[in-house]
Amino acid sequence: MSSQIDAVILAGGMARRMGGDDKGLVELNGEAMIKHAIDRIKPQVKEILINANRNQTRYAEFGFKVISDEHSGFLGPLAGMITAMGKTDADYLLVVPCDCPLLPLDLVPRMLAAIEAEDAEIAVASDGEYEQPVVMLLKPSLRDSMKAFLEAGERKVDFWYIKHHFVVVSFADQPNAFVNVNTPEQKQRLAIEITKS
C-alpha cells in the first residue's frame, strides 16, 4: 500500500527582511511566491494546507485550506508544523516554505524513498552543502514531541529533529532548488534565474 502524503506550505512568518510584506504574496514573475511553491508540490501530494497568520482570506483564494498557528505570537516554523500535524490523517506530512519557488519536482519520491530505506521518522532535504530545516517529510505522530520542544522555549527546527531518527536527502543535482527569497534584491535575482530556466 502506498503512503498517503499531505503537505503544508509555511507562510506564517513576519518577513522582516522583506520590509514586513507577506512573503508568500509577494509577486515573482507575475505570480505570488506561494503559487510557485504550490505548482511544484501539488502533483506530489494528496492535500495541501497553507499555514498563514495574516491575510488568510487572500491565501484561501488559492483553493486550499488555510490554518493559523495554534500558538500565538509568531513563534516560527515549528508552530506552523505543529498546527498542520494536528490537521492531517496522512502517513507523512511534507513541510515546505512559501518562499522557495524552485522546489524539486521529485522532492516527495526521493524523501519518501530515503525515509523508507532507513526506517526513519524524518527526512530533511539538503542542497548538497547545507541541510534545509524547513524542507522536511515527517510522521505526524511526532507532533507531541515537537509541541513539548516548542513549549520548552526552543525554536530551532534542526535542534528538534536531531533528537529523532532522521535521514538527510541530498538534492545537490538541483543546486537552486532551495534558493529562497528574504530580500527584494534576492527576489530580483531569482526572477532572472526563473526566466533563464
Give all strands of the β-sheet with 65-67 in edge-to-edge order.
Answer: 65-67, 48-52, 5-11, 92-97, 131-138, 122-126, 166-170
The pLDDT-based confidence of 37 (bands split at 50, 70, 90) is very high
Output 70 or 7, whichever has higher pLDDT. 7
Is the pLDDT at 16 greater than 90? The verdict is no
Average pLDDT over residues 149-159: 92
Q: What percent of the chain has pLDDT over 70?
A: 91
Q: How far apart are CA 191 and CA 101, in angstroms?
A: 10
Residue 172, judged by CB atoms within 10 A of its CB (0-12, 13-18, 19+), counts as exposed
Give the per-residue pLDDT at 14: 56
The yes-or-no verdict on residue 17 having pLDDT over 60 is: no
pLDDT of residue 20: 60
Question: For residue 105, what is its C-alpha cell?
Answer: 519536482
pLDDT category at 22 given cuts 50, 70, 90 is confident
Residue 1 scores a pLDDT above 50: no
When pLDDT is averaged across residues 97-124 and rounded to a whole number, the result is: 96
pLDDT single digits (tens) 50-89 = 999 999 999 999 999 999 988 766 678 999 999 999 999 9
pLDDT of amino acid 192: 67
Question: Which pLDDT band holds residue 131 (cuts at 50, 70, 90)?
Answer: very high
With CA atoms as reference, report the closest residue to 10 among 57, 61, 74: 74
pLDDT over 70 (residue 197): no
**18 pLDDT higher than 50:** no
Alpha-carbon distance of 195 to 148, in angstroms, equals: 43
